[in-house]
Structure 1
Amino acid sequence: MTAHAIAVDVGGTEMKAALVAVDHDTARPLRHLRRPTPRGSDGAATADHVVAAVTELVSDLRTGAAEAVDAVGVVVPGVVDEAHGVGVFSANLGWRDVPLRDQLAARIDLPLGFGHDVRAGGLAEVRFGAARGMRDVVVLPIGTGIAAAMVLDGRLYSGGGFAGEIGHVDIGHGEPCGCGSSGCVEAVASSAAVARRYQARTGKDGTAVEVAAAVRAGDPDAQAVWQDAVDALARGLLVLVTVAAPECIVLGGGFAQAGNLLTEPLRARLDGMLAAYHRRPHLKLAELGDTAGCLGAALLATEGLKTP
């Protein structure tokens, strides 16, 4: 039986929403909406602003839906306690200990699934995408921030909401991070960091995709920034491989749109770091693109899935 959910993926830069038809082995987006993530004058995306914006997206999609909507799923970044519905901390949105699920439920009169954006996207990639059929998987979207969804022995692992924050491993480069620490993988290897560091070197504005194009064109500044990002990612992945030993690492997010420009040097760099005792993972590109978070949110909504 097909269920219909409105799914909202709250990102550090943009909010993506979709009306999704979900059955046992497929999830099909029927309508899409995108809006900038609202921020106050201080640059922080307050919970009140985000809750209001999510409510508006749900209302707009519900109003235009020919199908009856069965549930709503909302996923957010940062440290998320799914069991209690709390946004514990988000470096990119600027909130702490916010009871987001309760605040959303007070405004939305439908069953509500709530969770972490990366874990939800990882769930979708394992169910429908690049990691279909695998039991030990890390799904790593690289966008405004970097965090990993970890599937261990076939089960999504959340560690009480704290697992997978590989973007905030200190790899020793010393640059400040939005989390308040320095040396984090994310401060060099996220899409936002690549664009920011390229601008600092050249004075040119651009996205990570545009930096990738400059790398292909032979721009030495772009190549230096790119190499730093690849090295930082490899060092972060080394930690995951050593601790979790995944059979596959799925790379997603905007940065992964670079394809082989990312995977080939990253594979070589990581392989050079691994010892004989490490399990060597396959590196794959995500198949679901930037719809993964919404598809995962739809799964949380329609199946009532909870991470262990």
Structure 2
Amino acid sequence: MVRHVIALDVGGTGMKAALVGDGGGLLHRARRATGRERGSDAVVADILDFAAELRAYGLERYGEPAAAAGLAVPGIVDERHGVAVYAANLGWRDVPLRALLAERLGVPVALGHDVRTGGLAEGRIGAGRGADRFLFVPLGTGIAGAIGVDGRVEAGAHGFAGEIGHIVVRPQGTPCPCGQRGCLERYASASAVSEAWAAACGDPEADAADCAKAVASGDPNAVRVWQGAVDALADGLVTALTLLDPRTLIIGGGLAEAGDVLFGPLRDAVRRRVTFQKLPSIVPAALGDSAGCLGAGLLARDLLTTGPTPTTPEVTA
């Protein structure tokens, strides 16, 4: 008999899942399409069915059912009440996911925001391990953040803590779907770089990874596009570090896969901008696209020692 928990990370197109043992080891992994084209009710049903299948597998394979479950989802998440408030990509509003999953599985369930849950994993077992204060910023389709302060990941009073992608870095700049103009994610997300590079090189299929390769080869147009994104990112990050004073700044997401092509100029750009602020370590995320799932496992394991779902899960150094 092996005590374990269920970890589920739900994305816009796919779900990643794992059974996680007491020591944190991954006992079993699985993936499944989210199936959002069938509507929000179908997505919720698929999540519940997937979790039930994982429970059944664990019972058969390890001699006992999962002791708890952790679920990470995108959008606006009310972690205190266990409600998925809104997710544009999945089409749901005010879904009581924690209660639904707990009823289906018969065990305690923790619900977390995908970026904060990924930040929890990076802070506890990934690139931020050992840092008492960190900021995790994944650069993907958009830009969000997870704030690690005094041993916990902050959700904020209304669940919006860490939305660094909507810091205005270019006043009166490009309109953002949030209603503002000049938001950071309109300049420095992977999708923004892809759009800018596709326009610059004349290839509508070109993306941010292609831009990074062109930068590495010395293409001046690529360098111009890339540096524009780096400068905007540095402006946003300096605002964040001025407010939060993190010891470690963890950069993840698809854009971080460019490695030194990103981190070299980014460290230089941030260094040039700081004055009185203390320069944090700027490091790449360590867990890749597994961070959300690993974080969900940590949320579930925390339930076994802390009781009811914490609003701000602990991050141990």
Task: Please report the RMSD computed on the Cα atoms of aligned residues, expressed in angstroms.
Answer: 2.5
Distance 1:234 1:3, change over 3 A: farther
Q: 1:110 aligns with which of 84, 107, 113?
A: 107
Alignment of 1:8-157 (within 5 A): 8-23=8-23, 27-40=24-37, 47-65=40-58, 66-67=61-62, 68=64, 69-90=66-87, 92-93=89-90, 95-157=92-154
Rounded Cα–Cα distance in structure 2 between residues aligned with 1:63 and 1:196: 44
Matched residues, number: 300
Percent of aligned pairs with the same residue? 49
Rounded Cα–Cα distance in structure 2 between residues aligned with 1:11 and 1:47: 13
Superposition deviation, residue 74 in structure 1: 0.7
Query: Please, what TM-score do these two structures have when normalized by structure 1?
Result: 0.86
Secondary structure of 1:88 counterpart:
strand
Contact map agreement 1:13 1:144 (CA 8 A) in 2: no
Gaps of 5+ in 2: 304-308, 313-317
Rounded Cα–Cα distance in structure 2 between residues aligned with 1:270 and 1:36: 38
Secondary structure of 1:231 counterpart:
helix
Distance 1:127 1:178, change over 3 A: same
Partner in structure 1 of residue 306 of structure 2:
none
Distance 1:31 1:20, change over 3 A: same
Rounded Cα–Cα distance in structure 1 between residues aligned with 2:90 and 2:264: 32
Distance 1:231 1:50, change over 3 A: farther
Alignment of 1:1-308 (within 5 A): 3-23=3-23, 27-40=24-37, 47-65=40-58, 66-67=61-62, 68=64, 69-90=66-87, 92-93=89-90, 95-160=92-157, 161-172=159-170, 174-201=173-200, 202-275=202-275, 277-304=276-303, 306-308=310-312
Contact map agreement 1:85 1:114 (CA 8 A) in 2: yes
Secondary structure of 2:36 counterpart:
coil
Superposition deviation, residue 274 in structure 1: 1.0
Superposition deviation, residue 221 in structure 1: 4.1
Rounded Cα–Cα distance in structure 2 between residues aligned with 1:262 and 1:195: 14
Code of the residue aligned with 1:110 in structure 2: it is V
Contact map agreement 1:5 1:301 (CA 8 A) in 2: yes
Rounded Cα–Cα distance in structure 2 between residues aligned with 1:15 and 1:2: 24
Contact map agreement 1:91 1:178 (CA 8 A) in 2: no
Distance 1:232 1:32, change over 3 A: farther
Distance 1:210 1:307, change over 3 A: farther
Distance 1:242 1:218, change over 3 A: same
Q: Which has the larger radius of gyration?
A: 2
Query: Please, what TM-score do these two structures have when normalized by structure 2?
Result: 0.84
Secondary structure of 1:159 counterpart:
coil
Structure 1 stretch 235-244 or stretch 96-105: which is displaced more?
A: 96-105
Distance 1:286 1:164, change over 3 A: same
Secondary structure of 1:271 counterpart:
helix
Rounded Cα–Cα distance in structure 1 between residues aligned with 2:292 and 2:4: 16
Secondary structure of 2:250 counterpart:
strand
Map Cα deviations across residues 89-135 of structure 1 (whole Å, 9 max, x no partner): 44554554443323444444432111111111111122212211211
Distance 1:243 1:91, change over 3 A: farther
Superposition deviation, residue 17 in structure 1: 1.8
Gaps of 5+ in 1: none
Distance 1:54 1:195, change over 3 A: farther
Distance 1:17 1:195, change over 3 A: farther
Rounded Cα–Cα distance in structure 2 between residues aligned with 1:33 and 1:211: 32
Distance 1:60 1:99, change over 3 A: closer
Secondary structure of 2:174 counterpart:
coil
Structure 1 stretch 91-100 or stretch 132-141: which is displaced more?
A: 91-100
Contact map agreement 2:110 2:300 (CA 8 A) in 1: yes
Superposition deviation, residue 240 in structure 1: 1.0
Secondary structure of 2:37 counterpart:
coil
Secondary structure of 1:188 counterpart:
helix
